[in-house]
Amino acid sequence: MFDLEKSIAEWRQQMLAAGIKTPVPLGELENHLREEIERGMKLNLNEVQAFKAAVQSIGQGGALRKEFNKVKAERGTLRAIALIISWLVVGYALVYATIGLEFHWNFFNFHEKLDAETVKDIAIILATGVGFWFLAKASRDMASRVVSLLVCLLLAGFAICAIFPPEPLTQAHVSPGHSSDPAMGAFVSLMLDNTFSRHAPSPLWYRGSLTLLFFVPGILWFSLEHRRKKSKKVYA
């Protein structure tokens, strides 16, 4: 006597043997099989006929596995592209925010202040830190890992540059040019000296903070990569 539940269980084993082992797709396929069986029985087919028609409608295990692998590969490609774009966007956001902070705090002479622009830049910097953490955890495919490593190395270059104080800018760097009017020449020289001269470099804590900030993505990336390699050795 035909046992529908036993036949469905045997069909499920065939799907597992064909390589469809992910629980979610296999569960969805079984639900679809049952719906097809129910639809066939509503068309006055007996259980055997309805089951065979449903299996034929869904397809064989090998063909289904190929389709699932194809869909998985396409999703993996789209995911890798999304991660690459995200790394570039978050890296750009960090550079943009630090340039804005440099402009507001360290333009010619260092003068820290808390205003709307500073709050915006700091908020972007904090958001990029969270973004780098999630991106470093999510970047497992080769393409996104290569791009993420390049972004981290680029930011590390910014970190090295940030630690050095800017060169003092004086009249030797900005010449007022020749003027036929001595008074005008003196006035321009005075303006350049008061406006464009840097009397002292930015403090070390500020430059050190920027340097550490640019090193953070690389630190996160290498720590997570080390953790992945360590876990692979454990489960190998």
Sign of the alpha-carbon torsion through 219, 220, 224, 225: negative
- CA Rg, the chain, in Å? 32
CA dist 211 and 218 (Å) reads 12
Tokens of 75: 């999703």
CA dist 198 and 167 (Å) reads 8
Count of alpha carbons within 13 Å of 214, Cβ hemisphere only?
A: 23
87 and 144 in contact (C-beta within 8 Å)? yes
Per-residue pLDDT of the chain in tens (236 residues, 90 and over written 9): 677 787 778 777 777 776 665 555 667 777 777 887 888 888 878 888 888 887 777 765 555 666 666 666 667 788 888 989 999 999 999 999 999 998 888 877 788 888 899 999 999 999 999 999 999 888 888 888 888 989 999 999 989 988 887 655 544 444 444 445 555 555 445 444 444 455 567 888 988 999 999 999 999 888 888 887 777 665 55
> What single-letter amino acid sits at 168?
P
